[in-house]
Chains A and B, each alone.
Chain A
């Protein structure tokens, strides 16, 4: 099991566990709502609701 840390889920206000090695720009899933959360800062980790999929996204 990879190391985890906790951060506040901006949608529910609850503390959630996320991988300890996250970095800015990474997306984690909210365990409560399944919503995508973006890591906007580390040390301490701050999460925001990630932008929705746009039409021209992809490889």
Chain B
């Protein structure tokens, strides 16, 4: 098959995928999104003959728009424009999880600092303020007091971009010093790991320690439901343990897996490429 890899930066994750695809003899078209132009009717030449595009854009904005163009050109893409749209935005993500009945931290959105402060006071301290777009734990704030809340809200209001004036307030979940990252394809887990840290942010990108994790049936059920809720695809589903159950706080659509690949015995890129191959085979059969 011919695979288009949409990228702006080749991280180790992309390199692992490229190596696996090349080893299997697949043709690869690396598409640097920074150099392309996307016309509303004419696809760029780089998409000629590709069977599927894997969106590995580093920038969320590029991911959201390019997947929509690929949809318009009828070029299969993982992940889909719908999945990218839902996952890229924490508000849409939370709404999708709640709508699907997946346990997710209680969340409220407010549009002014005064109304956000009311939400924060209602939630009590600590609670969490997150930017609606962004990742790697950046600009996340654990709010411990009213005076901290007032200061953070004031700072956010002056950051400039309108997205910072969408105040996404979430209950603080007391987790056991770790959360769980599950890499799944259409809801079927490939591998899972815990990310542990003394810091309240346990992201691997923040230096959290990672370790392989065996999922129980309940976690598998929630991963499948969370994946369905956002439209499926190659996803990173993040769960926290709440004692008797789990809560799903986020589903990521341009998921990084290098830390996971190092932590588990599973050959993660091989499993991902298996899934891509199956997807192309199924779509080819369907179109015959």
Q: Which residues of A contact B (CB under 8 A)?
A: 23-27, 38-39, 50, 54-59
> Contacts A23-B15, A26-B15; is A56 near B134 (CB within 8 Å)?
yes
Within 8 A of A (CB), among B238-255: 252-255
Question: Tally of A-B residue pairs with Cβ under 8 A?
Answer: 53
A45 vs B58: C-alpha distance when bound (angstroms): 23
A38 pairs with B133, CB closer than 8 A: no
B11, B59, B255: the one contacting A56 at CB < 8 Å is B59
**B9-24 vs A, Cβ < 8 Å mask (1 yes, 0 no):** 1110011001000000
Interface size class of B (residues with CB under 8 A): 20 to 34
B9 pairs with A58, CB closer than 8 A: no
B254 pairs with A59, CB closer than 8 A: yes
A22 vs B270: C-alpha distance when bound (angstroms): 21
Nearest-neighbor residue (CB-CB) of B87 within chain A? A59
B136 pairs with A56, CB closer than 8 A: no
> Contacts A23-B18, A25-B8, A27-B11; is A59 near B252 (CB within 8 Å)?
yes
Nearest-neighbor residue (CB-CB) of B11 within chain A? A27
Q: List 28 A-B contacts (CB under 8 A).
A: A23-B10, A23-B18, A23-B30, A24-B10, A24-B30, A24-B32, A25-B7, A25-B8, A25-B10, A25-B14, A25-B30, A25-B32, A26-B10, A26-B15, A27-B9, A27-B10, A50-B9, A54-B59, A55-B133, A57-B135, A57-B136, A58-B60, A58-B134, A58-B135, A58-B136, A58-B205, A59-B135, A59-B254
Residues of B within 8 A of A38 (CB): 9
A25 vs B31: C-alpha distance when bound (angstroms): 10
> Contacts A24-B30, A26-B15; is A58 near B10 (CB within 8 Å)?
no
Residues of B within 8 A of A58 (CB): 58, 60, 134-136, 138, 205
B18 pairs with A56, CB closer than 8 A: no
Nearest-neighbor residue (CB-CB) of A25 within chain B? B10
A50, A57, A59: the one contacting B236 at CB < 8 Å is A59
Residues of A within 8 A of B8 (CB): 25
Residues of B within 8 A of A54 (CB): 59
B218 at the interface (CB under 8 A from A): no
A56 vs B224: C-alpha distance when bound (angstroms): 27
B106 at the interface (CB under 8 A from A): no
B60 pairs with A56, CB closer than 8 A: yes
Residues of A within 8 A of B9 (CB): 25-27, 38, 50
